[in-house]
Amino acid sequence: MKKIILSVLLFAAILSIKSQEIKYTDASELNLIGKPFPDTPNPYHRIDTLVFKGFNTTENRQVRCPVGMSVLFKSNTTKITMSTNWGYVYNTVSTMPIAFRGYDLYFKNERGEWQYAASGANRNYQEGKEDTFTLIENMDGTAHDFMLYLPMYSEIHTCKIGIDNDAYIEPIESNFRHRIAVYGSSFTQGVSTTRAGMSWPMQFMRHTGLQIVSIAASGRCMMQPYYTTVLEELETDAFIFDTFSNPDAALIRERLLPFIDRLIKAHPNKPLIFQRTIYREKRNLDRVVDERETAKAEAVEEIFHELKNGKEKERFNDVYLITPNASDNHETSVDGIHPNDYGYSLWSRSIEEPVMQILAKYGIR
């Protein structure tokens, strides 16, 4: 009798251990969306730097980071574990580690909207070692559609999603529409966010249902000719630019017109929507910053006035200039430059109406 009881208990213990085992699926085997170019050797790289040349060391690192990319999948697991092998890992005091080397998880609620579920990063991360942590647990085992944002500023070599041993995971189709490319600065990258899904492009994407593909380049968005080559080759239905945040007035005057000319030629009859740079709170008392920002703004206004009113104005019919707003009572800045999550939310909502009105002219809804 004792042997029978012991056998039953042992069998139950084995089943319990078995149910706690984790099975992993590489995220690239699911539906990876927001990827600018489909055939990079590393599926988590935005740009193949063996194909596109000219990037400096910083830019090479940036284009290998999966900012703007997310994974769509369905699972009935009760727990999700993330296991990552990192390449370059970013570090800064103004951005949460969850944003630059963590994961941000959403699920589709009963209204069909993407709703926040969990976010996290490994507190005990060690460079060079596989990084594994529990992203969420104690779910009830109901099947959900998930969207997992990848880190906004660290390179991934491998990314595996762990689920219960007796659960399933499968890719789901994307219901995001069209392809809208964004090219911009650290603002577009999402510096100073708490998690990857809170940059203005990602909030805009969730709220409008338009698929964003990001060519964000923190500190390095200066309309360089080699970056323009990337944009020329990109398959997209429209562009939204944050190109006036990094270059000074002289560089804007030098590069803006050639930049626009090349994109008009490469993407005829597609909207090129430029945004004025947002107000930097640093300029409130810093006279040097204020003078620099004023000069940049004046250069942009002068050039666009000529574009829209000059002899060749018909050639620039698809070029637009709009104004974002990321400030509410001057209380949304993290470091005098970048907004916080709420500031990026204000930014996203402030451009939604003018952008959607412009896109509607081109049948993009």
Is residue 20 over pLDDT 70? no
3-class secondary-structure state, position 315: helix
Is residue 123 over pLDDT 90? no
Buried/exposed code over 262-292 (b: 16+ C-beta within 10 A; e: otherwise):
bbbeebeebbbbbbbbbbbbebeeeeebeee
The pLDDT value recorded for residue 18 is 44
Per-residue pLDDT of 174-206, as tens digits, reads 999 999 999 999 999 999 999 999 999 999 999
State the burial class of residue 3 (Cβ atoms within 10 Å of its Cβ: 0-12, 13-18, 19+). Answer: exposed
Match 């005098």 to its residue by tokens.
336
CA-closest candidate to residue 262, choices 227, 233, 228: 228
**Percent of the chain residues past pLDDT 70, beyond the cut:** 95
Question: From CA 264, how far away is CA 244, in angstroms rounded?
Answer: 19
Is residue 249 over pLDDT 90? yes
- Is the distance from CB of 146 to CB of 82 less than 8 angstroms? no
**Residue 145 host element (H or E):** strand 144-149
Q: Is pLDDT larger for residue 125 or for residue 336?
A: 336
So where are the chain's domains?
A: 22-171, 177-360
Question: From CA 202, how far away is CA 114, in angstroms rounded?
Answer: 11
Is residue 17 over pLDDT 60? no
Is residue 121 over pLDDT 90? yes
Per-residue pLDDT of 262-320, as tens digits, reads 999 999 999 999 999 999 999 999 999 999 999 999 999 999 999 999 999 999 999 99
Is residue 165 over pLDDT 50? yes
Is residue 2 over pLDDT 60? no
Is residue 92 over pLDDT 80? yes
Instruction: Read off the pLDDT of each residue in 219-241 and give the average, rounded to a whole number.
Output: 98
CA distances from 247 to 141, 228, 255 (A): 50, 15, 9
Q: Is pLDDT larger for residue 59 or for residue 19?
A: 59
Instruction: Read off the pLDDT of each residue in 344-356 and give the average, rounded to a whole number.
Output: 98
Count the neighbouring beta carbons within 10 Å of the beta carbon of residue 305. Answer: 11
Question: From CA 145, how far away is CA 154, in angstroms rounded?
Answer: 25
Confidence bin at 10 (pLDDT 50/70/90) = very low
CATH, domain 177-360, list 3.40.50.150, 3.40.50.720, 1.10.3720.10, 3.40.50.1110 = 3.40.50.1110
- Is the whole-model pTM more than 0.85? yes
Q: Which fold has domain 22-171?
A: Jelly Rolls (2.60.120)
The pLDDT value recorded for residue 244 is 98
Per-residue pLDDT of 40-74, as tens digits, reads 999 999 999 999 999 999 999 999 999 999 999 99
Average pLDDT over all residues of the chain? 94
- The torsion of the CA quartet 187, 192, 194, 196, rounded to 10 degrees, works out to 30
